[in-house]
A and B are shown apart, each in its own frame.
Chain A
Amino acid sequence: MKKLSPKDMINAFLLFFVIHSTQVGVGIHGFQRIVYQDAKHDAWISVLLIGVVSHIIVIFMIKTLEMYDSNDLYGIHQDVFGKWVGNLLNIIYILYCSTAFFSVLRNYIEVIHAWIFPNLSTWFLSASLLLVVIYAFTGGLRLMVGISFFSIILSVWLIPMLIFPFKFSISSSIFPILETNIIPILKGAYSMTFTIIGFELLNIIYPFIKDKENVKKHVHLGLLATTVLYLSIMLVSLTYFSGGELAKTIWATLTLFSIVRFPFIERFEFIAICYWMLIILPNLCLYMWAAYRGFSRLVNISAKKFIWIFSVIIFIFSIAVQTRTQINMINNQFAKVAFYIVFVYPIFLYVVAALKKKFTSQKEQKE
């Protein structure tokens, strides 16, 4: 593998934006309902819990990456598990990234269909989004990181909009605290998977960081920002909606925006939904990039060729999936797999990598 020139690298503080923007995507639209189904009015504890877990997982991820200094997950796989098993794992990871890409894209199109343009054809939305992503992708990693940065800076103003629904809040809804048993709360945290994933891209972007000693700080800050955001949205939702209502609201975050009304703009949620394209753009770009990084290790392929093949496949799939039930099924299945890939696998990989390192260093000493 050729050495990276400093020109291709990014500063560690940008990781904050990368991590935060890849975590926040389409899951945030309607995670409240899914968590509420299990954890009831203690759903916010589930959110807090999964936030803490994500911090712990990231510690393992960084430890594993530090062992290899400037290699990404794909390289680590090849080193730890050998060529064949390593490449098999790489293929799984590429498929995972592609599915994540597809899932974000299709869910966003579904939201546009359900809320604003029911007649607009899927192919049109999918093609135009893919073109934007292709355009960004050709600009390289630094440009995509720039998109993450601006995606957050330009959408920060959406957060204060929560004040409008907050005015209708009834605080008694979240009491008594911890009435739900621990098992349903854990289940609720588990159902947060689809919403909170995204930080695993650290595995791929790590070699590109210039000042690696600052990685930890900025990644954890990014995770913290996400957890605080999810927690505040969850608390507002729990107090704004009544229980029965929340269980029936599909995209609770968007419905929250529905109460916002300005003299010059009557229906704020329509703006928010359209604006959301900016929020999902880093998701799409970076997942595509992550898939490319893996794929280029397997097959010698130019970036240009890869994105066109990738986009055509995604495009065909996005047309094939038409109904809400299909989309939900994909989300659920994807979330199940994602839980193991994002929350279980890093610990396993760390243990294996650490053992291997110990083993080889002992060997070297003997020699």
Chain B
Amino acid sequence: MKKFRFYVIFLFLFVSLVGCAETKILEQIGLTTLVGYDQGDEEKLSVTAVVRQVNPEAQSNVVIFTNEDATSKGTNIKATRQSSKKLVNGQMRVVLFGDELAKNGVHHLTDTLLQNPDVSNSLYTAVVEGQTKSLLEFQYENIEDIGQHIFKLLEQNIQEELTVSSTLHEVSHDYHSLGRDMAMPILKRDDQLIEINGVALFKEGEMVGNLSIADGFYLKLVRDKYDSGMIETILKGDDIPPSLKKNKSDEIPLVFDTIRSEKDFKLIDKTTPEFDLHLTLKARLLEIRTDINVGDPKTVAELEKAISKNLSNELSRVIAYCQEVGSDIFGFGEYYRSAVRNSKLTQEKWDELYKDAKVNINIDFTILRNGVFE
């Protein structure tokens, strides 16, 4: 028995030591950190890959490959031919789509990414205004590694709740779900900087419209919820209660932060359909550009009312725009499906319903505090 055990251990060690699995040595591989997809000529796909290479003797460098082919993997093969190192996808963190391609549909690409086990589901996706190629290949003075820079940019903004979260998982979740469309941030090059410029609205995987970054706030308000968001809004004309209209200036700009929001949907009529949307917001007043005494409870109450009114006006404008372009990014359809028994909802049926959907907005806004100096 002892002898037998010895042989088993020996054989086991033999197999495990001789049969090493595939190795990926850092110095011999190029890490693809960011991939940008553009619409190429004649139905082809143009792919720009940002590859980080680690060299033992010199500083690590970033190389950008651009290739065109019919499939995304085809361009990968082409890029490998140009590279001295083996290209791997395990560190891919961002995928960008050119807006022309986004308008033609991106769902094939997101499905391909999901299919590949090397690609993490937590990578970020975004749309680029114009071509991703020109955005990535531009020589920025202060940006050393464009792949890492864009990743940090998106990560930071999504965590700070300044734009919609668009991980690969969320994007494909929304694409495959009935009655919820996907949304991605839009990136744009502004001279030496890259900035988030808005939110792209999709309908069944095709980009159909976009919202400004300010309107993106309302989108996130209904679609998601806030834990520590920030917003600037301007009270204008009729929104301002008469008691606060002291100095005839017809605008009160306000900034809030640490916003916490809660939403409550209710379907009140399933034939139209009509929704009741009740939002509860709690926030801290950060800045106010008029001489209003925010220490006075009466003023604060009036201010809160005015802000609620202002926000619901803005929100209904954003919802109307989304209905116009036919993109249900708020997930009303998903809610409808879950609230109506045996709805037998199909995409076509919901498209019809969504166009005429009515949303009654009711916002309850509370100013919690206003800093340490009144």
Contacts and interface: CB of A to CB of B under 8 A. Distances in A.
Contacts of B4: 138, 304
B117 A135 contact: no
B52 interface: no
A242 B177 contact: yes
B334 interface: yes
A97 B244 CA distance: 81
Contact of B177 (A124, A174, A243): A243
Contacts of A241: 173, 176
B8 A114 contact: no
A135 B9 contact: yes
A244 interface: yes
Interface residues of B, number: 37
A128 interface: yes
B122 interface: yes
A138 B117 contact: no
A interface: dominant SS? helix
A243 B12 contact: no
A301 B39 CA distance: 68
A69 interface: no
B90 interface: yes
Contacts of B167: 259
B156 to A, nearest CB: 15
Given A128-B12, A138-B5, A115 B117 contact: yes
B203 interface: no
A242 B121 contact: no
Contacts of A119: 22
B98 to A, nearest CB: 25
A95 interface: no
B25 interface: no
Which among B169, B172, B180 has the highest number of chain A CB atoms within 10 Å? B169
A258 B117 CA distance: 9
A8 interface: no
30 contacts: A114-B117, A117-B21, A119-B22, A120-B21, A124-B19, A127-B15, A128-B16, A132-B12, A135-B8, A135-B9, A138-B1, A168-B169, A172-B331, A172-B335, A173-B334, A176-B338, A176-B340, A176-B341, A179-B342, A242-B173, A242-B180, A243-B176, A243-B177, A245-B172, A245-B173, A245-B175, A258-B122, A266-B120, A267-B120, A304-B4
Interface of B: 1, 4-5, 8-9, 11-12, 15-16, 19, 21-22, 90-91, 117, 120-122, 167, 169-170, 172-178, 180, 331, 334-335, 338-342
